[in-house]
Amino acid sequence: MQISEAQKQVDEWIKTIGVRYFNELTNTAILMEEVGELARIMARKYGEQSFKDNEKDKDLADEMADVLWVLICLANQTGVDLTTAFEKNMAKKTNRDATRHLENEKLI
């Protein structure tokens, strides 16, 4: 699936099942909540924290998809074409970091 297709699919779902988008500030708060849930799993699965009994069934992929969903909602609401934004961002990083990481002694 292309990013543009995901944006269209989310928009269609919102308009037919979700009734309407939450406002941008609400969706920003929801995004932070979803990132927090993802961070919680990461800290327990890859960090030093341990899972509580009621957290063991949490799905990392599902939490990542929740983050992506809300990010797409925000992009749709604010008129951001994520494909174009991502392509520009990759070009920026490529130009800026062409040798930076290769020359970083901490990464060798």
CATH of the domain at 60: 1.10.287.1080
Quote the strand ranges of 1-108, DSSP E: none
Q: How high is the mean pLDDT of the chain?
A: 95
pLDDT at 57 over 90: no
Distance separating alpha carbons of residues 66 and 63, to the nearest angstrom: 5
Domains held by the chain: number: 1
Helix axes 82-96, 60-78, angle to 10 degrees: 110
104 in a structural domain: no
pTM metric for this prediction: 0.89
By the 8 A CB rule, do 14 and 73 touch? yes
Average pLDDT over residues 14-23: 97
Higher pLDDT among residues 57 and 42, named by residue: 42
Higher pLDDT among residues 81 and 49, named by residue: 81
**Band of the pLDDT at 91, cuts 50, 70, 90?**
very high
Parent domain of 77 = 3-81
pLDDT tens readout for residues 70-79: 999 999 999 9
By the 8 A CB rule, do 78 and 24 touch? yes
Q: Which two tokens stand for residue 26?
A: 């609400």
